[in-house]
Amino acid sequence: MRVEIWSDIACPWCYVGKARFEKALDAFPHRENIEVVHRSFELDPTLAKGDIEPVVKLLTKKYGMSEAQAQAGEENLGAQAAAEGLAYRTRDRDNGSTFDMHRLLHLAKERGRQDELIALLYKANFAEERSVFNDDERLVELAVAAGLDADEARKVLADPAAYADEVRADEREAKELGANGVPFFVLDRKYGVSGAQPAEVFAQALEQAWGSHSPLKLIQENDADACGPDGCAVPQH
């Protein structure tokens, strides 16, 4: 069964929600039969690569709150993250375009290293001092730590068109599915879970999706001629 997660590296609730989902997934009896795929969703797709500003300043402009209110919100998020065993810098974080990160995540998906890379990107953005925005070499370092080839990662970052269509396709699909925010979890293309829900909610969703998930049933009375990896059966007369 496949679980697809639409998220953004700049989204703190995606960071927390991933941890809560994984807690439920680790305890799920059929864990080995679950495929997790991360999908792209930019909170602000209009940002250019160099558009970087402090998170607190962004919050004051976007929501009309005071700096004290914005900082209090960051402290609350820090507490929520800590409850899930996550490190979270509540001060001096910045915000910027995540488009290049999403493009790298599509490369990582092709190389079977997507989950490793997204975990490193979250940690770098929310828990580490060095910014992940507008710093290609920082992203290359994280890609290598996730098991990707450095030159291949640099090539993707140097070409704005590389995996751009894949990112935009994910974002269009999110809208088609009715996802106006993230994190957004889609289980078996039948059930959706919105937001950083408690682990218990994710556990219930997994059980429900698994209970209604059924493998393909073949309708046949006798074997019929077919082609396979070894070729096609030759009729014998």
For 158, phi then psi, to 5°, come to -75, -15
Closest listed residue to residue 187, CA positions, set 170, 204, 173? 204
Q: Is 43 exposed, middle or buried (0-12, 13-18, 19+ CB in 10 A)?
A: middle
For 204, phi then psi, to 5°, come to -65, -40
State which H helix or E strand residue 129 sits in. Answer: none
0.75 exceeded by the pTM? yes
Give SS3 for 214.
Answer: coil
List the pLDDT tens digit at each of the 237 positions of the chain. Answer: 999 999 999 999 999 999 999 999 999 999 999 999 999 999 999 999 999 999 999 999 999 999 999 999 999 999 999 999 999 999 999 999 999 999 999 999 999 999 999 999 999 999 999 999 989 999 999 999 999 999 999 999 999 999 999 999 999 999 999 998 999 999 999 999 999 999 999 999 999 999 987 654 555 555 555 555 455 555 554
Which residues, other chains included, contact 200 with Cβ-Cβ below 8 Å and sequence gap of 6+? 24
Q: Is 183 exposed, middle or buried (0-12, 13-18, 19+ CB in 10 A)?
A: buried
Read off the amino acid at residue 118.
I
Strands 2-7, 35-40: pairing kind: parallel
For 184, phi then psi, to 5°, come to -135, 120
Read off the amino acid at residue 65.
M
What letter would DSSP give residue 202?
H
